[in-house]
């Protein structure tokens, strides 16, 4: 489910039934794509993987928060590693789980990084500040799409063509400050 709904976006824009839901949903989905990676989540990024004929191991560049017996969803690591897996052993920088009928491989890098996602304990759709931030971003995306020559305004009040630049998130950073993932604030 989107952080902001089509009905909320339709109401904020005041467009009534002028545009079909699917067209408005694109702006809602784009707002999610901008905002969700910035929010805290139970994920770790896989930098390498290896496997034997009975187990697969995923490696992280920082200490992870997963535990033996946890069911995790592995994505972007390759078909032999992806899927819902139950962790059988851990080290500070790796997890191992059971697989079958695999050819053994040495440790190989994963690029772009794979993702190991544990259970989520937060429903961002229930956080009104996050919903308002998503709505604000969706409105900006919609408006930039509809009137391409209406850029943002720079700090010195001069028109700027970069409405969809880094200032997009900066305008809602106060709303999402309590939920920002420290790993998303690099740079």
Can you give the pLDDT at residue 132? 95
Considering just the CA atoms, what is the radius of gyration of the chain in Å?
21
- C-beta of residue 89 within 8 angstroms of C-beta of residue 68: yes
Res. 159: pLDDT tops 60: no
At 143, the pLDDT band (50, 70, 90 cuts) reads confident
- Each residue's pLDDT tens digit, 5-16: 999 999 999 999
Position 33 scores a pLDDT of 92
| Average pLDDT rounded to a whole number, residues 112-129 | 89
pLDDT at 161 over 60: no
pTM across the whole model: 0.73
pLDDT in tens, 85-113: 999 999 999 999 999 866 888 899 999 99
Check whether 162 has a pLDDT greater than 80. no
Query: Residue 24: is its pLDDT beyond 80?
Result: yes
Instruction: Please choose, from the candidates 107, 61, 69, the residue with its C-alpha nearest in 3D space to the C-alpha of residue 88.
Output: 69
Phi, psi of 110 (to 5 degrees): -115, 120
- Percent of the chain having pLDDT more than 70? 88
34-85 pLDDT tens trace:
999 899 888 899 999 999 989 999 999 988 889 999 999 999 998 888 999 9
Rounded Cα distance between 127 and 97, Å, is: 34
Which domains, ranges and CATH numbers included, belong to the chain?
A: 6-39+122-184 (no CATH), 43-117 (2.40.30.20)
Residues in the chain: 187
């Amino acid at each position: 489910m989107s952080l902001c709904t089509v009905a909320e976006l339709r109401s904020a824009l005041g467009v009534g039934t002028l545009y079909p839901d699917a067209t408005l949903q694109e702006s809602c989905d784009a707002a999610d794509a901008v905002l969700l990676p910035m929010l805290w989540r139970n994920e770790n990024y896989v930098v390498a993987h290896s496997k034997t004929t009975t187990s697969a191991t995923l490696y992280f560049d920082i200490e992870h928060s997963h535990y033996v017996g946890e069911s995790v969803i592995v994505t972007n690591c390759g078909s032999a590693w992806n899927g819902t897996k139950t962790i059988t052993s851990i080290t500070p920088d790796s997890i191992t789980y059971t697989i079958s009928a695999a050819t053994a491989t040495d440790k190989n890098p994963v690029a772009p990084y794979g993702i190991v996602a544990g259970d989520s304990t937060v429903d961002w759709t229930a956080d009104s500040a996050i919903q308002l931030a998503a709505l604000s971003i969706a409105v900006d995306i919609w408006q930039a799409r509809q009137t391409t020559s209406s850029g943002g305004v720079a700090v010195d009040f001069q028109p700027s063509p970069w409405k969809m630049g880094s200032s997009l998130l900066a305008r809602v950073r106060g709303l999402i400050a309590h939920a920002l993932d420290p790993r998303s604030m690099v740079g």
